[in-house]
Amino acid sequence: MSDTSPSESEAPTESPDSAAQPDFDAMTRDIAEVPAVEVIVTVAVNLMSAAAVKLGLTEEGDKYKDLDEARKLVHALAGLLDASATEISSFHAAPLRDGLKSLQLAFREASVVPDEPGQGPGEKYTGPVYG
């Protein structure tokens, strides 16, 4: 007599075809049709939104506030905008820079011990930010 029951030894195996697979070809075609400027602006807006949440600037307030995470996001946004400044038009860049400055000021206000001017998140790229 076997130590394993039929249900253990004959457990059904799931084939890769049975799981829903993402259509990578369609995803590649979709992204290929998106202009680079649109991708850059979308990423910048996502960074701005995430930073606002981590700064406690949303309806939830302090529920998701995390200044360490916010610093990283603001710094990444500043780096992206600095690196892409010549690639995106001022039509796109100006509001993004304004949003970045607002986030930098909000970070300074939210900090218990504010960074020295020029040392705040992203100020390596933007220079000191004053209110």
Per-residue H/E/C for 15-43: CCCCCCCCCHHHHHHHHHCCCHHHHHHHH
Q: Say what the pLDDT of residue 19 is.
A: 62
Instruction: Return the ∠ at Cα 131 (arms to 96 and 68), rounded to 5°.
Output: 65
Residues found in the chain? 131
> What string of pLDDT tens digits covers the 131 residues of the chain?
545 555 545 555 555 554 678 888 887 878 889 999 999 999 999 999 999 999 999 998 899 999 999 999 999 999 999 999 999 999 999 999 999 999 999 999 999 998 999 999 999 999 999 87
CA distance 106 to 55: 7
